[in-house]
Chains A and B, each alone.
Chain A
Amino acid sequence: MIHLNAHELFNKIKNKEVSALELTNAFITHSKKTNAVLNSYNLITEEIAINTANRVDKKIATGEKLEIFEGVPIAIKDNICIEDIETTCSSKILEGFKPPYNATIIEKLNAMNMPIIGKTNMDEFAMGSSTETSFYGVSKNPWDISTVPGGSSGGSAVAVASGQAPLSIGSDTGGSIRQPASFCGIVGVKPTYGRISRYGLMAFASSLDQIGPFSKTVEDSAHLLNILCGYDFRDSTSQNVKAEDFTRDLNRSIKGIKVAIPKELYNSSLSKEVKDYYDQLINKLSNEGIIFEEIELPSLKYALSTYYIIAPAEASSNLSRYDGVRYGYRSENANSLIEMMTKSRSEGFGDEVKRRILIGNYVLSSGYYDAYYKKAQQVRTLIKEDYKKAFETYDVILSPTTPTPAFKPGEKTANPLEMYLNDIMTIPVNLAGLPAISIPCGMVNNLPMGLQLTGNVFEESKLLGISNQLEKILCFKLNNSFIEGVL
């Protein structure tokens, strides 16, 4: 049963083939059993999951109609606030922190009676591409537990890929949903900036952060987006756009659609092996009547540099609130206020977080602001303009999601820049606020690879429609051998 996708599970509940409680218990049992190996959860929230499942069963018993995904369990990245449930961002500095409020999306999931079965592991404060920076240790990729699951939303990707949960929530600042989705062979979506409220998402880089879903199928993500999206008055950057049904284009034909392949993403950083794989894939898709054209988006070459100035700048300020005064970790080894703050932060944050705080403070320092921060913001404008021009002609933009399949822990930690380069495909999208999706497309070196499709702003429906058709053509099968091995 745990292999089934969310839609199939929902139908089983609706048709009373299984109760919501039985289903939730099955996922909790499997999660507990496999977590020892996969380290995908920071916390399993059995009690609240069971309470929610019971609500659904009561509804069924009284003959009430269920709305889609009621009773379907979901796992939540540990940087999204759930009232009274420890939320840590996988950082020592938030040890023991129990939010006094719910994130907006948690309210929406609670209203939809979706049992929350746990808080998933992640890179500390979402800074990383492998979950290696987590205070709670690295997660394992269920396809090959000697490799990383990607990051920063690694735990959420693992949860769905390993049958711990049919759905999960991640956040994506520079690829933190799409990259782990690619590494773990599942679907991950980063919606248009402002589609989903950020209220309750512990900020990394405010102008780039966006919450999004993981699922086994494009259709499941479309349904979940219907639940998550919507204007929120508590988030000033929330987009007040009319609600739409993101499943509306799922069955639309993709014959004749125009797909752009930007040279800047497709040539530079791919190994021959990976390049050959995607060449062959594009050939195959061309036979389905999709028109591919190589284009130039010259500013994309600068996206990584731009990102690694803007994101740390915002982060350095966003993470200043962790000072040991009001919540979280406070060092015992201090005799004065300034010492307490300095020691709490020095003992509470890991090295990658510290590195980014330093970068951020450097680029915002007086005398360096114009040369770095302002310059990066100007280049950001150019990146947005390049994309805008491309979407005047093309329906979607295609690239691999990552330059390589999953790597091994420690492989890239020695050189931070090398780790950052892993995000080169996904980062430009966040700078421009665009929606993008990663769908699994096949295997390289026995590890899954993802196809990244980027759409124009607010064109999630089109993006999901095209992705759904590609999913049918690609026929990617989830690897259930790990799951079966454990069972």
Chain B
Amino acid sequence: MYFHIYAIHSSYVKIFFVMITKETIKHLAVLSRLEFTEKQLDNFSHDLENIFNYAQMLNEVDTTGIIPSSHAMPLQNVFKEDRVIPYHNIEKIMANAPLEESHAFRVPKILAD
């Protein structure tokens, strides 16, 4: 929705110039639960533009029919048995809570936004 891709030229390989706008960064910031100053928005849009334009070289590669790799090594069917092993240091988990109340993690009010 905020992303723009412009084709600069195309020979037998498609090369695009990727433009990352400040609006794009703002949208990504919302998805990422981050907020930025205007200057950061400028910097990040510039950085990401450079990086994605560098990565455009991937378009040179013919990947038709190539199976994507989600893992470094092939492995399958790794399971645990359905057995309860109680964890005995729950208090050490709770001790890390920034704010605890009634043995629960307390968070500020949730605004319906």
A residues in contact (CB < 8 Å) with B: 83-84, 96-98, 100-101, 192-194, 207-208, 233, 236-237, 239, 299, 301-302, 304-306, 308-309, 316, 320, 323-330, 334-343, 345-346, 349, 351, 354-355, 357-359, 361-362, 365, 367-368, 372, 374-382, 384, 415-417, 420, 430-433, 457
Q: Hey, which chain B residues are within 8 Å of A384, CB to CB?
A: 69
Q: Hey, which chain A residues are within 8 Å of B97, CB to CB?
A: 326-327
Answer whether A378 and B44 are a contact pair too, CB < 8 Å, given A194-B73, A306-B58.
Answer: no
* Interface core residue of B43, B69, B93, B97 (most chain A CB under 10 Å): B69
Query: A381 near B66 (CB under 8 angstroms)?
Result: yes
Residue on A with the closest CB to B100?
A326
Residue on B with the closest CB to A339?
B108
Residue on A with the closest CB to B67?
A381
Question: Which chain B residues in 91-109 approach chain A with CB under 8 Å?
Answer: 92-93, 95-99, 105, 107-109
Quick check: is B13 within 8 A (CB to CB) of the other chain?
Answer: no
12 A-B pairs, CB-CB below 8 angstroms?
Answer: A194-B73, A239-B75, A302-B60, A308-B54, A323-B33, A337-B110, A354-B34, A354-B40, A355-B47, A358-B44, A377-B68, A384-B69
Q: Hey, which chain B residues are within 8 Å of A328, CB to CB?
A: 96, 98
* Interface core residue of A305, A338, A351, A380 (most chain B CB under 10 Å): A305
* Interface core residue of A304, A320, A329, A340 (most chain B CB under 10 Å): A340
Instruction: Report how many A-B pairs have Cβ atoms within 8 Å.
Output: 185
Residue on B with the closest CB to A236?
B78
Residue on B with the closest CB to A319?
B32
Instruction: Kindly provide the distance from the CB of B6 to the nearest chain A CB, expressed in whole angstroms.
Output: 14
Q: Hey, which chain A residues are within 8 Å of B66, CB to CB?
A: 378-379, 381-382
Q: Hey, which chain A residues are within 8 Å of B54, CB to CB?
A: 304-305, 308, 417
Query: B71 near A379 (CB under 8 angstroms)?
Result: no
Q: Hey, which chain B residues are within 8 Å of A334, CB to CB?
A: 108
Instruction: Kindly provide the distance from the CB of B40 to the nearest chain A CB, expressed in whole angstroms.
Output: 8
Quick check: is B72 within 8 A (CB to CB) of the other chain?
Answer: yes
Contact of A309 among B47, B55, B89 (CB under 8 A): B55
Q: Hey, which chain A residues are within 8 Å of B60, CB to CB?
A: 302
Give Cα A233 to B99, complex, Å.
Answer: 33
Query: B47 near A416 (CB under 8 angstroms)?
Result: yes
* Interface core residue of A323, A367, A372, A375 (most chain B CB under 10 Å): A375
Query: A355 near B35 (CB under 8 angstroms)?
Result: no
Q: Hey, which chain A residues are within 8 Å of B113, CB to CB?
A: 336, 338
Q: Hey, which chain B residues are within 8 Å of A365, CB to CB?
A: 3, 28, 31
Q: Hey, which chain A residues are within 8 Å of B96, CB to CB?
A: 96-98, 100, 326-328
Instruction: Kindly provide the distance from the CB of B97 to the nearest chain A CB, expressed in whole angstroms.
Output: 6
Question: Which chain B residues in 41-95 approach chain A with CB under 8 Å?
Answer: 43-44, 47-48, 50-52, 54-55, 57-61, 63, 66-73, 75, 78, 80, 89, 92-93, 95
Residue on A with the closest CB to B16?
A371
Contact of A379 among B61, B107, B108 (CB under 8 A): B61
Q: Hey, which chain A residues are within 8 Å of B34, CB to CB?
A: 342, 345-346, 349, 354, 357-358
Give Cα A359 to B34, complex, Å.
Answer: 13
Query: A337 near B111 (CB under 8 angstroms)?
Result: yes
